[in-house]
Amino acid sequence: MAMHPDWALTDLRVAPRYGYRAVHFVTRPPKPVELQIRSTVQQIWAETSERFELRYEGVKYGRGPEYAPGLLQRLSDLLREFESTSLTRALLADRAALADALERIVVKLLRFFS
C-alpha cells in the first residue's frame, strides 16, 4: 500500500491491543490528525469495551477485575472469527441486522457480568 510520507500507519488488526483491532493513520505535526478505520464488527467491539470501561475503569488497558480483560480479549477473538465467516459477509449486506444481532449478544454479556 502506497502511503503519503507524512502519515504513520498502525495496523492493530495484526497486533491487537487488549482486543482492540483497527487501522490508524496519523499525520505528523504541526497538525496531527488521527483517522481510525474499523469494520462494523470492530466498531461494536470498541463500543462494548467503552461500556466495560464505564463499569471497570482501566479494563480497556488490561486493568480491572481479573476476568474482565480476558473477557474482552476473548470477545475480540470470537468477533474476529465471526467476521471472517461467509454468514457474516452475507449479513454485512444488511448492516442493521448485523448490528442488531451483535448488540443483543453484547447486552447479554453485560447483563451476565452486572
Map out the domains of the chain as residue ranges: 7-37, 40-112
Q: Are 53 and 59 in contact (CB under 8 A)?
A: yes
pTM of the predicted model as reported, rounded to 2 decimal places: 0.64
- Which residue, 111, 89, 85, 107, is CA-closest to 98? 89
Q: What is the mean pLDDT of residues 53-68?
A: 82
Q: Is the pLDDT of residue 20 over 80?
A: yes
- Would you state the pLDDT for residue 53? 85
